[in-house]
């Protein structure tokens, strides 16, 4: 919600007036100095939307304030030209409404357009959430990264490295919405107050690493060439892309990292394929390059890569992981019911590379069970399991 700063207003006053944590108000206005505010400046207030209301007979600002659970000065803040003693029937005023519901729409086949629509809604309501593109996909779709928090612990989570594992994206988006909702309403999730996590941790999320591949699986053939013809050729002429894991060029993005890459190519496809083709060398694809660059510049303390399926948590790589990785993996297993496994006979993955180069905890989390792409009927269960894991990544 946007308001115009009045003389003598401050971020602290807005925090008190609307019962929003002060750090969230400050971080929603990164270009403003809290100590040098100028009247007339537009200010973002997180966790609220403004709705239009048409004055009815018998209405007053005091009555409307009581009905909307706020106070008169909050109404005057949104309606600076309104004279309380001169309300006119039919006059339109703006009322602040605290957001207490999920603003994302995740219960559907979730393509790139759905992701961007949901991120736009989150950005509008929660402007303290920082959002940027970490780079383009092959088809020039911006790959978004979200960050929440101001703490020293740097936790990263990502989803949809693999196209037909797209259900992991709406899971992470809804997780972000629940976290943001709890922060603005001073609330708790599973008995844990979220405010302290905002101060101690910075959460980075890339909810869709492979947007072109996800769109291919969810929406079918792209309209533009050369991609329309090339994916048909790679897929053997079939328009059934349910088995497609790769990016739009037929490169498996989670086999693109320089962590025993050469060993992992043995027995794998040697040309573009719906799955398992590693590319000609590590980090040839713009999506994997973007993830590598993000990781190098961010100095993450731990990373979580969400995949499907198997209800397994992989936490090791070549005995290079630190001792704390096992402790964290066991806690992830406790809160999710998943099985922790140290390693698997597979290399060149994102978490493998992170463990190898940083010697810090990295996890591949295989959610759900069945054949990819998993049906939306599994979403509620996967969501609750993943929620426990994400919370544990912040408090461990």
The whole-angstrom separation of Cα 45 and Cα 359 is: 40
Cross-strand pairs, 131:
146
CB burial readout 90-100, b (16+ within 10 A) else e? eeebbbbebbe
CA separation, residue 28 to residues 139, 149, 193 (Å): 32, 11, 20
CA angle 320, 326, 332 (to 5 degrees): 130
What is the DSSP code (8-state) at residue 205? E
For residue 255, what is the DSSP state? G
- DSSP states along 303-334: EEEEEESSSEEE--STT-S-THHHHHHHHHHH
In the block, residue with structure tokens 């990819």: 372
Q: What SS3 class is residue 296?
A: helix
What are the φ/ψ torsions at residue 239 (nearest 5 degrees)?
-95, 10
Contacts of 366 (CB under 8 A, 6+ apart): 307, 308, 309, 310, 311, 312, 313, 314, 338
Cis peptide before 191 (omega within 30 of 0): no
CB 291 within 8 A of CB 350: yes
> Catalytic site residues?
366
346 CB contacts (<8 Å, ≥6 apart)? 264, 352
Burial of 173 (0-12, 13-18, 19+ CB in 10 A): buried
Q: For tokens 């009555």, what's the residue?
A: 63
The rounded distance, in Å, linking the Cα atoms of 104 and 120 is 9
């Amino acid at each position: 919600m946007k308001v115009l700063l009045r003389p003598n207003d401050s971020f602290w006053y807005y925090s008190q007036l609307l019962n929003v944590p002060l750090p969230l108000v400050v971080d929603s206005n990164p270009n403003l100095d809290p100590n040098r505010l100028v009247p007339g400046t537009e200010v973002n207030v997180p966790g609220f939307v403004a709705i239009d209301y048409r004055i009815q007979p018998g209405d007053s600002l005091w009555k409307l304030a009581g009905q909307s659970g706020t106070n008169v000065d909050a109404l005057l803040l949104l309606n600076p030209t309104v004279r309380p003693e001169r309300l006119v029937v039919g006059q339109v005023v703006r009322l602040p409404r605290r957001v207490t519901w999920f603003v994302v729409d995740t219960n559907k086949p979730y393509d790139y357009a759905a992701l961007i629509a949901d991120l736009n809604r989150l950005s509008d309501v929660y402007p303290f959430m920082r959002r940027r593109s970490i780079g383009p996909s092959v088809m020039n779709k911006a790959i978004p990264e979200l960050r929440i928090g101001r703490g020293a612990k740097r936790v990263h989570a990502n989803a949809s490295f693999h196209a037909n594992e797209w259900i992991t994206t709406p899971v992470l988006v809804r997780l972000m919405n629940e976290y943001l909702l709890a922060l603005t309403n001073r609330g708790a999730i599973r008995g844990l107050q979220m405010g302290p996590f905002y101060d101690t941790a910075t959460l980075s999320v890339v909810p869709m690493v492979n947007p072109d591949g996800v769109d291919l699986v969810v929406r079918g053939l792209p309209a533009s060439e050369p991609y329309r013809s090339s994916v048909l050729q790679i897929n053997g002429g079939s328009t059934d892309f349910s088995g497609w894991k790769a990016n739009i060029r037929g490169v498996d993005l989670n086999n693109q990292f320089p962590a025993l890459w050469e060993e992992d190519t043995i027995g794998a496809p040697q040309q573009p394929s719906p799955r398992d083709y590693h590319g000609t060398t590590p980090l040839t694809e713009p999506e994997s390059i973007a993830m590598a660059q993000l990781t190098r510049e961010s100095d993450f303390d731990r990373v979580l890569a969400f995949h499907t399926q198997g209800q397994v948590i992989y936490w090791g790589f070549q005995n290079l992981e630190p001792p704390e990785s096992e402790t964290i993996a066991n806690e992830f297993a406790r809160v999710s019911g998943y099985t922790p496994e140290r390693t698997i006979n597979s290399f060149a993955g994102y978490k493998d590379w992170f463990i190898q180069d940083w010697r810090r905890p990295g996890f591949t989390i295989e959610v759900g069970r069945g054949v990819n792409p998993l049906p939306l009927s599994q979403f509620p269960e996967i969501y609750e399991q993943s929620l426990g894991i994400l919370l544990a990544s912040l408090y461990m």
